[in-house]
Amino acid sequence: MRAVVQRVKSALVQVDGEVVGHINKGLLVYLSVGKTDLAEDAEYMADKLVNLRIFADDTGRMNQSICDVGGAVLLVSNFTLHGDCRKGRRPGFDEAAKPELGNDLYAKVASLIVHRDISVEKGVFGAHMQVTSVNDGPVTFLLDSCKQF
């Protein structure tokens, strides 16, 4: 499972011109499920997202988690994070999960975050979405449940 995590002042996702998810302060998370990912990968990702200390404390150091600052998560599915661009000019998506598995584990990550009392807004799995965000910093991190980076 891979994620691009951005600290944001606000973010929203639209499908067909309709806002389907919106947050103020928090994390915009683009999440991709790999074909070999399991429930343990979802648990790892949810735990990492909830506890990642990337918000500033009173001294300006990145020392607080989303729990500490009362933020929310906007979770957007994005299978292209498993795109392989090493050969040729067109990405290959052999490592991305099939939609059924992808949707199940995407929903599991959202559920695990909600169970930790963090508000979660979501995009629509498999839909063509438009995402708008006001990045804070900018602060952006890459996560991988297999710890490849």
Q: Where are the domains of the chain?
A: 2-144
Kindly report the pTM of this predicted structure. Answer: 0.97
pLDDT in tens, 18-73: 999 999 999 999 999 999 999 999 999 999 999 999 999 999 999 999 999 999 99
CATH number belonging to the domain at 2-144, selected among 1.10.3330.10, 3.40.640.10, 3.50.80.10, 3.30.1330.20: 3.50.80.10
Listed as own residue / partner, the contacts of 35-42 with beta carbons closer than 8 Å and 24 or more positions apart are: 35/94, 35/95, 35/96, 35/97, 35/98, 35/101, 37/1, 37/97, 37/101, 37/105, 37/145, 39/105, 39/108, 40/145, 41/1, 41/105, 41/145, 41/146, 42/1, 42/105, 42/108, 42/109, 42/112
